[in-house]
């Protein structure tokens, strides 16, 4: 992935202005941190970058091999970890992975699934129902699901949410690996996570 450009992004809901005129650029191997207090629009901005919400003005541009990707191509290149990303509690971790792989048109062997789970600290827990997982285990599984397709752009909304120190170490390793092959955008108000940023975009409190 070459670079990500945010060009004059604004978002309104009726008369409510979430943010206005946001501009930033990050290149391959870099991390963009979106920082700001609760309610400043961090999650909304990540959803716009992911193509799940449309901006009121401005555009998101993702380039690969010098070519601007279409919105659909950008969505295919994006992995998202967020609090509101849904998992299926009545399914096992392996079944969740298999489902999300099929949604993306991917095959997933048991060996590949186990490797993904082991990479997020869930080795041997693939046959457990997700409804029996702790909140931290569910967060780890969200990472496994987001990494299924080896995304060029990884979006992390409050990446350390519900994680203990061992889980945070796993996230740090994931970010380090992603730097080798792509881009990371993370939204946070945690100073430890802000420190990951090569570029930091500060959002103010909503007026």
- Proportion of the chain above pLDDT 90, given as a percent: 94
Whether 207 is covered by a domain: the verdict is yes
Q: Supply the mean pLDDT for the chain.
A: 94
Whether 36 is covered by a domain: the verdict is yes
Domains of the chain: total: 1
Whether 31 is covered by a domain: the verdict is yes
Average pLDDT for residues 146-161, to the nearest whole number?
A: 96
Asked whether the CA dihedral 34, 39, 45, 46 is positive or negative, the reply is positive
Contact by Cβ (8 Å): 4, 74: no
Distance CA 42, CA 47 (A): 9
Q: Which two tokens stand for residue 49?
A: 């970058």
Range of the domain at 44: 1-77+154-162+183-207
For 126-135, what is each residue's pLDDT tens digit?
Answer: 999 999 999 9
pTM (global) more than 0.75: yes
Q: Which two tokens stand for residue 132?
A: 């029996």
| pLDDT (0 to 100) of residue 136 | 96
Whether 118 is covered by a domain: the verdict is no
Distance CA 151, CA 130 (A): 24
| pLDDT (0 to 100) of residue 204 | 82
Whether 110 is covered by a domain: the verdict is no
Model confidence at 198: pLDDT above 70: yes
Whether 91 is covered by a domain: the verdict is no
CA distances for 186 relative to 45, 111, 112, 148, 183, angstroms: 10, 29, 26, 18, 10
Q: Which two tokens stand for residue 93?
A: 């971790």
Distance CA 159, CA 194 (A): 11
Whether 93 is covered by a domain: the verdict is no
User: DSSP letters of 49-79?
Assistant: HHTSS--SEEEEEEEETTEEPPHHHHHHTEE
Whether 140 is covered by a domain: the verdict is no
39 confidence band (pLDDT: 50, 70, 90): confident
Distance CA 65, CA 51 (A): 20
Alpha carbon 58 to its chain centroid, in Å, reads: 21
For 82-123, what is each residue's pLDDT tens digit?
Answer: 988 899 999 999 999 999 999 999 989 999 999 999 999 999
The CATH code of the domain that includes 36 is 3.40.50.300
């Amino acid at each position: 992935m070459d670079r990500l450009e945010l060009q004059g992004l604004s978002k309104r809901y009726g008369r409510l202005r979430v943010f206005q005129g946001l501009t930033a650029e990050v290149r391959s191997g870099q991390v963009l941190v979106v920082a700001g207090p609760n309610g400043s629009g961090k999650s909304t901005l990540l959803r716009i970058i992911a193509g799940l919400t449309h901006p009121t003005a401005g555009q998101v541009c993702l380039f690969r091999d010098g070519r601007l990707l279409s919105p659909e191509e950008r969505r295919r290149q994006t992995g998202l970890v967020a609090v509101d990303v849904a998992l299926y509690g009545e399914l096992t971790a392996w079944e969740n992975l298999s489902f999300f792989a099929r949604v993306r048109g991917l095959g997933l062997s048991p060996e590949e699934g186990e490797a993904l789970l082991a990479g997020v600290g869930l080795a041997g827990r693939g046959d457990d129902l997700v409804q029996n997982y702790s909140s931290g285990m569910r967060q780890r599984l969200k990472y496994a699901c987001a990494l299924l397709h080896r995304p060029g752009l990884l979006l992390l909304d409050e990446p350390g949410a519900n994680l203990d120190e061992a889980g945070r170490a796993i996230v740090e390793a994931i970010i380090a690996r992603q730097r080798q092959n792509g881009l990371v955008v993370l939204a946070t108000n945690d100073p430890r996570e802000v420190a990951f940023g090569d570029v930091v975009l500060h959002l103010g409190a909503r007026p």
